[in-house]
Amino acid sequence: MTQASSTSIQNAYSSGRLGSSVPALLLLTTMAVSAVLFLFLQLAGTTERYNIVGAVLLGIVLYGVILYIASRLVEGSRRAMDRLVTTLVATAFVIALLPLISVMFTVLANGSARFDLQFFTYSMRNIVGVGGGALHAIVGTVLMTLVASLISVPIGLMTSIYLVEYGRGPLARAITFFVDVMTGIPSIVAGLFAYALFAIIFGPGVRLGIAGAVALSVLMIPVVVRSSEEMLRLVPNELREAAYALGVPRWLTILKVVLPTSIAGITTGVMLAVARVIGETAPLLVAAGFTSNMNYDLFDGRMQSLPVFVYSSYVSQGTDAQASLDRAWAGALTLILIVMLLNLLARLIARYFAPKLGR
C-alpha cells in the first residue's frame, strides 16, 4: 500500500467515516467465514448436503451486525442506523431472491439429466420405463395456449377499450366488479366451467384440447383486461383532444392514436398473461385430460400439456421411478425456460414498440 492511499484511509477514519472499501471487504469476509462454517458442518456429518441458502443468510446477518458495530464506533449512531436500515432492505431483497435461485438451481440440477434431443422429439407412446419424451406435451401446450390467446386477447382488449373510452355508469362498474371477481377465482373452477360447458354439448366424460384452451382463456381474460386498461389510461388526454379537435371520430382516434401509443404496454401485458396461464395444471387436467399419444386436433380426444406431463410423470412413476422423475424434472425445466423466454420477449417488444420521444 502506498503512502498516499494509507494517508487517505487514515484521513477517512479520523474524519468519522468508514473507507469506501470497508463494506465490501466485510461482506467478502463474512461470506467466506459462513461458507467455511457450513463446509465444516457438512464434513462433520451434521448436514447431508451443502446448504448454500443457509450460508448466504448467515453471511448477510454477520455482515449486518459487524458493519453496524464498526459504523457506530467510527461514524456514530446516526450513520450506523442508516447503514443498518440499508442492510436490512438489501437482506429483504436477498431473502426474496433466494427461493427463486434455489428453485432454478434445483430444477437445473435435476432436469439436465433428460434435457436431451430425445426428450424433444419423442412422445410417451408405448414407453413404460427409460426413454420417451415430451413432444406431445409441448405440442399440446403450444396449441392450447395459442387458441386461448386468440380467444382472450380480443375480448380482453375490447373490454378494456370500452371501460376506458366509453364506459360510464352502472354497466362499467358491473364489468369492473366481475373482472375483479374473475381475477381471484381458483384455476380449477375455470377447468370445471370448461368441462361443464363441453359436457353439455358433447356429453359427460368428454376431454378435449379446445376445452383446455377455453379454461385457460377464462383465466387470461381478466389479466388482459386489467393490464390493457392501465396502459390505455396512461395515454395523455391531450392526444385524444387534439384528434377530436381535428374532427377525427372517437373510434378512429382509438385506432390511430390511443392503441399505437399504448401498444408496447398492451403487448407486455398480453405476454405476461400467457406466461401466467401456461403453467396451469388443474384446469387442463380437468378439461383436457392427459394422454401419451401425439394429438394435433383440439377437437378430437384428450390432449397432453407440459404441466400435466410433469404431474403425471411424478404421480405415475411406473416400473422405473427414477426415469419418471427425470422426465418430470426435464418437463419442469422446459416450462421454466418457456416462461423466461416469454418474459424476455415481452420486454423486447415493449422496448421496440415504445413511443420514440424526440426533441
Question: What's the pLDDT tens digit per position in 80-132?
Answer: 899 889 888 988 887 888 788 888 888 998 888 888 888 898 888 887 778 88
| Those residues with Cβ within 8 angstroms of residue 44's Cβ, 6 or more apart along the chain or in another chain | none
In whole angstroms, how large is the CA radius of gyration of the chain? 28
**Scanning the structure block, which residue is given the C-alpha cell 370500452?**
162
Contacting residues for 191 by C-beta, under 8 A, at least 6 apart: 212, 215, 282, 283, 284, 285, 286, 287
Query: What contacts 16, CB < 8 A, 6 or more positions away?
Result: 74, 75, 76, 79
**The dihedral formed by the CA atoms of 156, 160, 166 and 169, expressed in degrees to the nearest 10:** 100
pLDDT at 210: 93
Question: Which domains, and CATH codes, for the chain?
Answer: 3-111 (no CATH), 121-353 (1.10.3720.10)
Query: What's the pTM?
Result: 0.78
Q: How far apart are CA 36 and CA 31, in angstroms?
A: 9
- pLDDT tens series, the chain, 359 aa: 455 555 544 444 444 788 888 888 988 999 999 888 888 887 777 766 777 778 888 888 889 889 889 888 888 888 889 988 988 898 888 788 878 888 888 899 888 888 888 889 888 888 777 888 889 999 999 999 999 999 999 999 999 999 998 888 899 999 999 999 988 888 999 999 999 999 998 888 889 999 999 999 999 999 999 999 999 998 988 989 999 998 889 889 999 889 988 888 898 889 888 988 998 888 999 999 888 888 898 998 899 999 999 998 888 877 778 888 989 999 999 999 988 888 888 888 777 776 665 44
pLDDT of residue 128: 75
Distance from C-alpha of 252 to C-alpha of 258, rounded to nearest angstrom: 9
pLDDT of the residue at 13: 47
Q: What local confidence, expressed as pLDDT, does residue 146 receive?
A: 93
- For residue 17, the model assigns a pLDDT of 80
